[in-house]
Amino acid sequence: MILECGFGAGDWSVDVAEQYPNAEVIGLDISPHMIPEELPENLDLQVDDLNGDFTFPSNHFDVVHSQLMAGGVRANRWQSYLKDIYRVLQPGGWCQMVEMYFNAQSDNGTLSPDHALSRWSSGYLDAMHPQKDPRAALRLKDWMTNAGFVDIESRLLTLPMCPWPSGMPRMMVFETKGIAQS
């Protein structure tokens, strides 16, 4: 059994259901508006609010995938959200969290505070706080540890958005979707 929290357009859930036709895949999202018309038979996309307690029984899923939920999960829900994920995972199960921290910054000082991207980033972070936690990606490892997870691997990947450093392969432009799909 595989659970995706926040399926969005359903891409990840559909891909996993097609790759593993013998697995039962369930996707949860608050919005029914992007559910694909045709779904694999082993995929059930359900409309549910992840800010409420999970109704699944304990030890129910082998894998739980949660992606880009910082804009959906309330700031005061994150720790109980992760405890719910931990509870519904079978012992030895796998949890994959993929979050983005939308903090536009420059490693070389070329992104000034008055740059449009800097202003957008600041406005986005301010607009989300305090109802949402736009910095959730930075806290996930600690929250997962507190929820009971072990063997946690955390990676922070930078996503170039402005002029590229010299020698940077241009093909990385096309990897943005790959980062989100991982």
Please tell me the total count of domains within the chain: 1
Q: What is the predicted pLDDT for the residue at 157?
A: 81
Distance CA 144, CA 95 (A): 10
pLDDT at site 53 = 96
**Cβ(23)–Cβ(1) under 8 Å?**
yes
Block mean pLDDT (10 aa), the chain, length 182 = 96 97 98 91 97 97 97 96 99 96 80 88 89 94 98 86 57 50 52
What is the structure's pLDDT at 156?
85
Could you report the per-residue pLDDT of 90-116, keeping only the tens digit for each?
999 999 999 988 888 887 778 888 988
Q: Is 150 among the domain residues?
A: yes
17 occurs within a structural domain: no
Q: Is residue 39 part of a domain?
A: no
Joined tokens for residue 95 = 């949890």
23 in a domain, yes or no?
no
Asked if the structure places residue 175 within a domain, the reply is: yes
Question: Does residue 38 sit within a domain?
Answer: no
| CA angle (77, 83, 84) in 5-degree steps | 85
pTM metric for this prediction? 0.84
Amino acid at 65: H
Q: At what angle do helices 78-88 and 136-147 cross, to 10 degrees?
A: 50
Q: What residue has token string 């799909």? A: 181
Cβ neighbours for 5, distance < 8 A, ≥ 6 positions apart: 28, 50, 64, 65, 66, 67, 69, 85
Instruction: Dump pLDDT digits (tens) for 71-87.
Output: 999 999 999 999 999 99
The amino acid sitting at 142 is: D
Does the residue 115 lie in any domain? no
Residue 68 lies in a domain: yes
Would you state the structure tokens that stand for residue 152, as one six-digit string? 């946690």
Question: What is the domain extent for residue 96?
Answer: 49-102+133-181
